[in-house]
Amino acid sequence: MSINHGAAERAPLAVRFGAFGDMVLLTVLLRQLYARFGKRVDVISSGPWTQPLLEGQESLGKLIVIRSRRTPYWLAPDQRQLVAWLRQRGAGPTWFCDVSRGKDLLHRGGIPEEYICSYSSFEWSPDEGFPDRFVRMASETPPAFAGMLPPPAPAVSRDAQLVISNEARASADEWRAQRGLAGRPFVVIHPGSAHIARRAFRSPVGTDRYWPEDRWGKVINLVRDLRPDHAILLTGTKAERKFNDAIIATSGAKDVYNAANELSIRTLLPLLERAHSMISIDTGPAHAAAALGRPTVAVFGKQNSVLFRPGGPTTPAVAVTGLVDGVQDIMGITPEAVIAAWSALVRSTETSVNHSVKSLSRA
């Protein structure tokens, strides 16, 4: 098909209707496209977490967030506003990072299929995580623009990165002061997930990301034994607060705080940035902590621990998996295995930091 020169000159557009962790990982694609085009990337997404996660990224252009891509089009004013914006913006090179739903909105907005580089069009290697796939994807060109776009840029980074404002850091410091935690070292534990939150009136037993309260309680006690001077913060959403309470009661430990439903994302991120480390179920905040450079251990259920490794392939993170009858299953993970991974990771990270400090002092 023939295209006008202006279409090839437009800033890249990325589309990802992702969960919390998905949007953390998307920062790899945005930085890579920015390096290639020298233009900020416009983004279409959904979810209240997207704005606080992506704001501040040098690579981010216009961000459009809709409530849901699943709502029928004629019942969704925000979808119609998005389509109007797309038509006004004009079609250009587009990267669609989902498997199915949502591409119809691009077509309604005047972006033909040949202008789109689609995630589902590629065969991915099983040993690639999302960041590696996004680096590859940013180097690809939508069919209609063959030979018309800037050449691929060398990989900027294979890890997600988040930008935190000083205002957000001040908010986190204020929260810590209110809790009597100012100046204290602390470990963050995030045991819940949306899988548990959705089952508020049903038992979570058997849910893929449910790891029993007594195991989390044992983890708390083991952390307390190893770091007696550290406070322990349990984070989560409002729906996860009771789960956290049950874990704390099971542990019987002191100096443990339930922060579920107390932290906005803008406050949570700088709190993670200043944490000693994090132990989490496989969920979004684990990706954020790893992207912020904090030692992070994630407890995995059936999810692919290579594809969804927290933050990217070289972050200070460990994905812990277990087996039941030869099949990957969260119930095959013991608290001792989690703490062994956490201890080794913390030791490695602290050794690396100390080595860097000594090297700088010698210089």
pLDDT digits (tens, 9 = 90+) for 116-160: 999 999 999 888 999 999 999 999 999 999 999 999 999 999 999
In a domain, 276, yes or no: yes
Strand partners, 41: 60
Same domain, 178 and 295: yes
- The per-residue pLDDT for 3 is 60
When the pLDDT of each residue in the chain is averaged and rounded to a whole number, the result is 92
Same domain, 135 and 277: no
In a domain, 155, yes or no: no
Distance CA 262, CA 339 (A): 26
What is the pTM assigned to this prediction? 0.92
In a domain, 34, yes or no: yes
Distance CA 120, CA 15 (A): 13
Same domain, 250 and 351: yes
Same domain, 350 and 226: yes
In a domain, 348, yes or no: yes
Same domain, 191 and 80: no
Same domain, 50 and 179: no
Same domain, 344 and 221: yes
Distance CA 79, CA 73 (A): 6
In a domain, 130, yes or no: yes
Parallel, antiparallel, or unpaired for β 323-324 and 327-328?
antiparallel
Same domain, 243 and 287: yes
Mean pLDDT across 48-53: 96
Same domain, 108 and 187: no
Overall number of domains in the chain: 2
In a domain, 76, yes or no: yes
Distance CA 56, CA 285 (A): 18
215: domain CATH number is 3.40.50.2000
Task: Report pLDDT digits (tens) over 240-250.
Answer: 999 999 999 99
Domain that holds residue 330: 168-362
Torsions phi, psi of 116, nearest 5? -110, 130
Same domain, 125 and 193: no
